[in-house]
Amino acid sequence: MNTKTFPLSKEQLEKLAAQYPTPFYVYDERAIRDNARRINKAFSVFPSFQAHFAVKALPNPFILKILAGEGFGADCASLPELLLADMSNMKGEKSMFTSNETPASEYVKARELGAVINLDDFTHIEFLEKTAGIPELVSCRYNPGPLKEGNAIIGTPEEAKYGFTREQIIEGYKLLRDKGAKRFGLHTMVASNELNPDYHIETGRLLFELAVEIKEKTGIAMEFVNLGGGAGIPYRPEQDPIDYDYVAKGIKKAYDEVIVPAGLDPMGMHMEWARIVTGPYGWLVARAIHRKSIYREYIGLDASMADLMRPGMYGAYHHMTVSGKENAPAAETYDVVGSLCENNDKFAVQRKLPKIDIGDLIVIHDAGAHGRAMGFNYNGKLRCGEILLRSDGSALMVRRPETVEDYFATLDLEALKKFNP
C-alpha cells in the first residue's frame, strides 16, 4: 500500500495557478534528488554502477541536469535526445544511444558526442561502419525471444522488433572485434512498468549467463552489462513500490554466482530506469470547468488526452485527488474527461471521488514520466507547460505552454497567401 501525496496545499496550489494558468505539470526537485540517491546507494553493492535516465520519459533539460548532478547519465533514442543529454551535462560515455532503424546522421552525431552506441541489429554493424565508423566501445542489444516473458506494455520478446537473437549477438561481437572495437557492453530491455522485483533479478541473471557464454565462445569480456529499464511504479494505491535494496542484492547474488566464478569480475552494472525515477514526483494539475449529467456524471477538465495520453491510450490508471478535498468521502462517481473529439479522452472512468465543484483543482498523480513527453497537437490542442518546485520552495517554469503561434510556426503562411488551388 502506498499513500498518494502532493507537495502543495490547496492555498499554495491556487497561488501557483494564479501565476501559471492550468493545465500544467508540477515536478518536485527534492523528491527526485532523494529518490536518485536511494537508487545509487542501493546499487553501490556492485564494483561500478551507472544509471542512465531514459530521456524519452521526461525530456526536459532542467530535470536531466538535476539527475546529472546526482551522477546519472542518459539513455537516448534520437538526435534531439542526444542533444538534450549533452546540454544537461550527461556527456560522453555517460550517455547511451539505444535506437532502432537509426538514420546515418544520428550515428554520426552519437560518435561526435562520444555516446556509447548500442546496436539494435546485426545488419547495423556494417551500416555503422560505413556511415560513422566503428567506435572503440560498442554495445549490442539482446532479444531473448521465448527465453524471457515480456509484459502487456512492451509485448513478448519474440514479437518485439528490438535486438539481436542469441546466435546473432555472438557473431556480432566477433565481427565488431574484427572491425576494430576493443571494449564491449551487453544490453537488454524486455519489460515496461514491471513491479515484480524478481523479474528484474532474473533479467540480470539472464544477461550474466549470456556474458559468460560470449566470453567462452569469442574470448570477449564484457566491460558492462545494461539491464535496461522497465521498473514499474505503483500507480494504484493498493500496489507496493519496488524495494531497491531487494533488487540490488538479488542481482548482486546472481553476479557473485555467475560472473565472479567465470573470471569476469569486476564488470560494470548499468541500468536505464526512468519511470521509477521521476514518475511518482510529477503531477498534472487541471481545473474542473464543466459538469455534464446524461447517462453518467461527467466532469470536464481544461486538460485533455493531448496532455496525458496514458489513460486514453491503453486504459492506464492514474490516481486522482481534488485539491483541498483529500480527506473528503468519495461519495460521487464520475467519468473525468477532456475536450478532444474522441470518446477515449478520459482520465478516469466511473471513478469514485469527492463531490467536484466547478473551479476545483484536480491533481493527477504519477505523471512525472511518459506524461508531458507523450503530448500531441491533435484537434489543434496546445501542450501545457511544466513547473519545477525547487528544493528551496520556489517555483520555476521550466517549459512554457505552447501558443497558437507555436502551432503555426512550421507552416509557410506567406506562401499560403499566394496559394491558389
Residue 38: how many other CB atoms lie within 10 Å: 12
Task: Count CB neighbours of 363 within 10 A.
Answer: 21
The single-letter DSSP state of residue 71 is T
Cell of 188: 537488454
AA identity, residue 418: K
Whole-Å CA distances, 99 to 18, 139, 186, 217 = 41, 12, 15, 27
CA distance 79 to 83: 6
Encoded amino acid at 256, one letter = D
Query: How many residues would you count in the chain?
Result: 421
Contact indicator for 337, 301 with CB cutoff of 8 Å: yes
Whole-angstrom Cα distance, residue 242 to residue 277?
A: 11
Q: Which of 76, 140, 341, 384 is catalytic?
A: 341
Question: CA 175 → CA 60, 125, 139, 404, distances in Å?
Answer: 37, 8, 13, 51
Give the CA distances from residue 372 to residues 27, 102, 181, 272, 348, in Å, rounded to whole numbers and listed in that order: 11, 24, 38, 19, 18
Q: Is the peptide bond before 47 cis (omega within 30 degrees of 0)?
A: no
Q: What angle do CA 33, 34, 36 make, to 5 degrees?
A: 65
Q: Tell me if 351 sits within 8 A of 329, measured CB to CB.
A: no
Instruction: Give the residue among 377, 378, 379, 273 at the shortest CA–CA distance from 57.
Output: 273
Nearest-angstrom CA–CA distance, 199 and 134: 34
What is the phi-psi region of residue 315: left when phi exceeds 0, alpha when psi lies from -120 to 50, beta otherwise?
Answer: left
Sign of CA dihedral 407, 411, 414, 419: negative
Is 76 a residue of the active site? no
Burial of 155 (0-12, 13-18, 19+ CB in 10 A): middle
Tell me the catalytic residues: 341
